């Protein structure tokens, strides 16, 4: 890896600010760069990227590549891959490139890895530099979370990883940190993007998007009907808390929520401060999507439900009896 | 429409956590012998998606599996795809393929797809339920230079193209991709795999599954199997669930709910 140097992170922006996963990427990117004695650079592709560049420096970046003119009408999977490929080959030659294990990162990382002829480990919960080889060592859950595997990436070319939410500590922000902001033109032309976006349908959810929400209320197959899901979860607990709404595959299969709201290994990966798990059993594939939640509160009829193994607080009981008094008390508390 | 679906065999994914063990000498996950081997769930969704397209517009569905376990059990799974309605199934089996990672697997499959020759659409599962790597579908697309979309839950045939509904952060995109292209399929009720009909099962039993080796693929042995891998598995471990749940109990659930809210406040969680 003689001529590959430095750590790149691909930063996502949400509602005009660095997304929580980006702060975590900067944290681990900074530590890996320090371990190699090299620079950490962030790549931001967004119309608002310029506004976030200073924050990225404060949070650990030595350099920020800002791409503001990426055509929004293009399918990002293809256009962002082209932009990142050029940044990693023409503009610079990073040794390591990190992305978030988000819907976006899960789409971009494999495309980039194969294009850069690079090794990639997805969904990492631990990353380190091998002191001898200076290669990336990556730890990730496998078999739906039933085991953990540690991989060493091989020499030659860049090394890629995506990180799971809340698995890595952000860097303590420091406003005085110095860094360089480099504007890079997107330079994507239509011929590079063969897939066309015809329509984008955004969820009409009143709460925040679950990937970035601080509080998420998740419902499972144990919720009786769509009407009850709305009454107790969406317009009940979630509205009271200003929380995002998610659920299990069981809830998707039962038609209680849309597939976009599925949390888990094969759905969204969330990392809220508080996750209310209502009438869901805590299957390992579901927990893979919310193991990063700081605090899990479980409400379940079955005292032996696996969710209680992961929960900090639990109530054994019917959600129909627990949620209304809970909402009442929370409303009181939150107004003081 | 000529469709190829890539399928992988995995241990039954709903096996309870307590059944899992690790063998750090052989670098493998161990499971009791009675845990069945099945087609990875998203790969089954991919096969179903392929069959639905075939039902709509006609064409052929070919399934391909790279054997990571004894060939006869993988052949059984491939025959299941034939019984469901696939027209042909191909097994890739060669010691040269062993010890591969996503990089080498994608190369082997891409070369097999090239050898099949005629294809409009390549379908893969979003990720396989054993290593959860989530790279092979997009890898095949990059190697073959094809457009691709991920997190696909619905596919509609078009004129020289397909339309794919793809999950995004806060909703979904409807994409139009010219064929040939690659789609990686997530789960959706509409893609629940069909049950193979009895006549299909009987017919499939008698079929002979072609087995292709690395040399059949004219594969560069430097890119397949362990020699092509870009990652090396160093260690396996079982996770620890540390959580100790504090159960909130009271006279009635009303009271417990109030106490829960108060605890969340006193712990500064809210
Ligand atoms: C490869 C693979 C990938 C998967 N990916 C995902 C994924 O991404 N996300 C995901 O969620 N799942 C995923 N699954 C499915 C997962 O294994 C479980 O089947 C699913 O999470 C179960 O959903 P559930 O907890 O809602 O349903 P169940 O397991 O049926 O649990 C329902 C719970 O509700 C409780 N309950 C019932 N009535 C009440 C009541 N009145 N009050 C309180 N509690 C009540 C019950 O006690 C029970 O614990 C995947 C599976 C596989 C094999």
Q: What's A294's domain CATH number?
A: 3.40.50.1220
Q: Is A220 in the pocket of ligand 1 (CB under 6 A)?
A: yes
To 10 degrees, the CA torsion angle through A145, A149, A153, A159?
Answer: 20
CB contact under 8 A, B173 and A314: no
Closest C-alpha to ligand 1, atom 19: A250
CA distance B59 to B57: 7
pLDDT band at B242 (very low <50, low <70, confident <90, very high): low
- The answer to whether residue A49 sits within a structural domain is yes
Higher per-residue confidence, B159 vs A205:
B159
DSSP state letter for A191? G
- Assess whether A175 and A289 both reside in one domain: no
Q: Distance between terminal CA atoms of chain A?
A: 57
- Assess whether A289 and A241 both reside in one domain: yes
pLDDT of A205 reads: 64
Cβ-based neighbour number of residue A245 at 10 Å: 26
Tell me, yes or no, if B188 comes closer than 8 A to chain A by beta carbon. Answer: yes
Query: What would the 3-class secondary structure string for chain B be?
Result: CEEEEECCEEECCCCCHHHCEEECCCCEEECCCCCCEEECHHHHHHHHHHHHHHHHHCCEEEEEEECCCCHHHHHHHHHHHHHHCCCEEEEECCHHHCCCCHHHHHHHHHHHHHHHCCCCEEEEECCCCCCCCCCHHHHHHHHHCCCEEEEEEEEEECCCEEEEEEEECCEEEEEEEECCEEEEECCCHHHCCCCCCHHHHHHHHHCCCCEECCCCCCCCCCCCHHHHCCEEEEEEECCCCCCCCEECCCCCHHHHHHHHHHHHHHCCCC
pLDDT of B55 reads: 97
pLDDT of A207 reads: 65
Q: Which residues contact A131 (CB under 8 A, 6 or more apart)?
A: A35
- pLDDT cut 90: percent of chain B above it: 87
Sheet with A180-183, edge to edge strand ranges: A119-124, A159-163, A96-100, A7-11, A40-45, A63-67, A180-183
Looking at the structure of chain A, the number of domains it has is 2
Burial B130-142 (b: 16+ CB within 10 A, else e): bbbbbbbbbbbbb
Query: Where in the sequence is the domain holding A101, given as residue range(s)?
Result: 7-192
Q: Which residues contact A97 (CB under 8 A, 6 or more apart)?
A: A7, A8, A9, A10, A84, A88, A112, A116, A118, A158, A159, A160, A161
Size of interface A-B (CB pairs under 8 A): 265
CA distance B50 to B9: 18
CA distance B102 to B230: 8
CB contact under 8 A, B253 and A315: yes
For residue B245, list chain A residues with Cβ-Cβ distance below 8 A.
298, 308-309, 311-314
pLDDT of B220 reads: 84
pLDDT of A68 reads: 95
Nearest to A121 by CA among A90, A92, A148: A148
In the predicted model, is pLDDT for residue B225 greater than 60?
A: yes
- Assess whether A28 and A111 both reside in one domain: yes
- Assess whether A159 and A290 both reside in one domain: no
Cβ-based neighbour number of residue A76 at 10 Å: 20
pLDDT of A1 reads: 42
pLDDT of B151 reads: 95
Q: Is A145 in the pocket of ligand 1 (CB under 6 A)?
A: no
- The answer to whether residue A204 sits within a structural domain is no
Atom of ligand 1 nearest to the CA of A221: 26
CATH code of A94's domain:
3.40.50.620
Segment A164-182, tens digit of pLDDT = 988 999 988 899 999 999 9
- Assess whether A34 and A109 both reside in one domain: yes
- The answer to whether residue A257 sits within a structural domain is yes
What the block records as the tokens of A230 is 């709305």
- The answer to whether residue A207 sits within a structural domain is no
- Assess whether A277 and A325 both reside in one domain: yes
- Assess whether A185 and A261 both reside in one domain: no
For residue B11, list chain A residues with Cβ-Cβ distance below 8 A.
143
- Assess whether A172 and A244 both reside in one domain: no
CB contact under 8 A, A211 and B129: no
Tell me, yes or no, if A334 comes closer than 8 A to chain B by beta carbon. Answer: yes
- The answer to whether residue A164 sits within a structural domain is yes
CB contact under 8 A, B262 and A333: yes
Average pLDDT, chain B: 95
Q: Which residue of A has its CA nearest to B107?
A: A114
Q: A248: distance to nearest CA of chain B, Å?
A: 12
Q: Which residue of A has its CA nearest to B125?
A: A266
Domain B2-228 is in which class?
alpha beta
Strands B181-185 and B148-157: parallel
pLDDT of A302 reads: 97
- Assess whether A56 and A172 both reside in one domain: yes
CA distance A41 to A63: 5
- Assess whether A36 and A152 both reside in one domain: yes
Q: Which residues contact B34 (CB under 8 A, 6 or more apart)?
A: none
Strands A96-100 and A159-163: parallel
Centroid of chain to Cα B82: 17
Q: What mean pLDDT comes out for the span B257-261?
A: 97
Nearest to A114 among B138, B170, B264 (CB): B138
Tell me, yes or no, if A21 comes closer than 8 A to chain B by beta carbon. Answer: no
What are the C-alpha distances in Å from A207 to residues A79, B60, B169?
Answer: 29, 45, 13
What the block records as the tokens of A335 is 């107004």
CB A103 within 8 A of CB B167: yes
Tell me, yes or no, if A190 comes closer than 8 A to chain B by beta carbon. Answer: no
Q: Which residue of A has its CA nearest to B186?
A: A266
- Assess whether A153 and A250 both reside in one domain: no
Nearest to B168 by CA among A25, A128, A210, A195: A210
User: pTM here?
Assistant: 0.90
Kindly state the helix (H) or strand (E) to which residue A179 belongs, with its residue range: none
Higher per-residue confidence, A307 vs B244:
A307
Q: Report, as ranges of residue numbers, the positions in chain A whose pLDDT lies below 70.
A: 1-2, 205-207
- Assess whether A173 and A238 both reside in one domain: no
């Amino acid at each position: 890896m003689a001529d590959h140097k430095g750590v790149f992170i691909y930063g996502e922006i949400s509602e005009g600010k660095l997304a929580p996963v980006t702060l975590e990427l900067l944290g681990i990117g900074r530590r890996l760069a320090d371990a190699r004695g090299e620079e950490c650079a962030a790549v931001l592709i967004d119309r608002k990227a310029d506004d976030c560049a200073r924050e990225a420096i404060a949070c650990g970046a030595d350099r920020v590549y800002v791409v503001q003119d990426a055509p929004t009408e293009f399918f990002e999977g293809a256009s962002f891959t082209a932009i990142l490929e050029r940044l990693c080959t023409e503009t610079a030659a990073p040794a390591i490139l990190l992305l978030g294990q988000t819907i976006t990162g899960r789409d971009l990382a494999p495309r980039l890895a194969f294009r850069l002829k690079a090794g990639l480990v997805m969904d990492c919960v631990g990353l380190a530099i091998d002191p001898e080889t200076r290669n990336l060592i990556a730890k990730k859950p496998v078999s739906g979370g039933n085991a953990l595997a540690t991989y060493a990436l091989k020499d030659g070319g860049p090394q890629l990883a995506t990180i799971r939410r809340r698995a890595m500590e952000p860097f303590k922000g420091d406003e005085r940190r110095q860094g360089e902001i480099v504007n890079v033109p997107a330079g994507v032309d239509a011929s590079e993007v063969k897939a066309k976006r015809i329509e984008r349908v955004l969820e009409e959810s009143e709460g925040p998007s679950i990937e970035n929400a601080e509080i998420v209320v998740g419902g499972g197959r144990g919720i009786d009907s769509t009407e009850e899901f709305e009454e107790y979860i969406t317009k009940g607990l979630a509205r009271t808390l200003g929380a995002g709404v998610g659920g299990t595959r069981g809830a998707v299969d039962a038609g209680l929520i849309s597939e976009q709201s599925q949390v888990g290994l094969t759905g969204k990966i969330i990392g809220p401060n508080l996750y209310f798990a209502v009438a869901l059993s805590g299957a390992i594939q579901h927990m893979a999507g919310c193991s990063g939640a700081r605090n899990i509160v479980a409400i379940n009829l079955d005292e032996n439900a696996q969710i209680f193994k992961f929960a900090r607080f639990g109530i054994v009981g019917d959600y129909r009896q627990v949620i209304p008094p809970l909402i009442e008390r929370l409303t009181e508390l939150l107004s003081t | 429409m000529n469709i190829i679906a890539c399928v992988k065999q995995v241990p039954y994914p709903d096996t309870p956590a307590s059944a899992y063990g690790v063998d750090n000498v052989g670098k493998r996950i161990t499971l009791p012998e009675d845990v069945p081997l099945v087609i990875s769930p998203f790969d089954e969704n991919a096969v179903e998606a392929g069959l639905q397209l075939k039902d709509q517009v006609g064409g052929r569905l070919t399934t391909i599996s790279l054997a990571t376990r004894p060939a006869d059990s993988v052949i059984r799974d491939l025959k299941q795809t034939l019984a469901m309605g696939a027209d042909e199934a191909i097994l890739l089996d060669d010691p040269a393929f062993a010890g591969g990672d996503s990089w080498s697997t994608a190369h082997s499959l891409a070369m097999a797809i090239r050898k099949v020759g005629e294809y409009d659409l390549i379908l893969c599962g979003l990720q396989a339920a054993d290593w959860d790597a989530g790279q092979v579908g997009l890898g095949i697309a990059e190697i073959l230079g094809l457009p691709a979309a991920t997190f696909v839950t619905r596919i509609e045939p078009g004129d020289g193209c397909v339309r794919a509904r793809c999950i995004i952060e806060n909703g979904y995109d409807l994409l139009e991709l010219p064929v040939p292209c690659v789609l990686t399929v997530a789960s959706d009720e509409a893609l629940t795999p069909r049950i193979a009909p009895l006549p299909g099962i009987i017919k499939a039993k008698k079929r002979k599954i072609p087995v292709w080796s690395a040399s059949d693929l004219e594969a560069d042995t430097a890119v397949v199997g362990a020699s092509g891998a870009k990652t090396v598995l160093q260690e396996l471990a079982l996770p620890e669930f540390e959580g100790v749940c504090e159960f909130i109990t009271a006279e009635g659930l009303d009271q417990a709910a109030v106490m829960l809210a108060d605890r969340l406040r006193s712990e500064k969680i809210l």
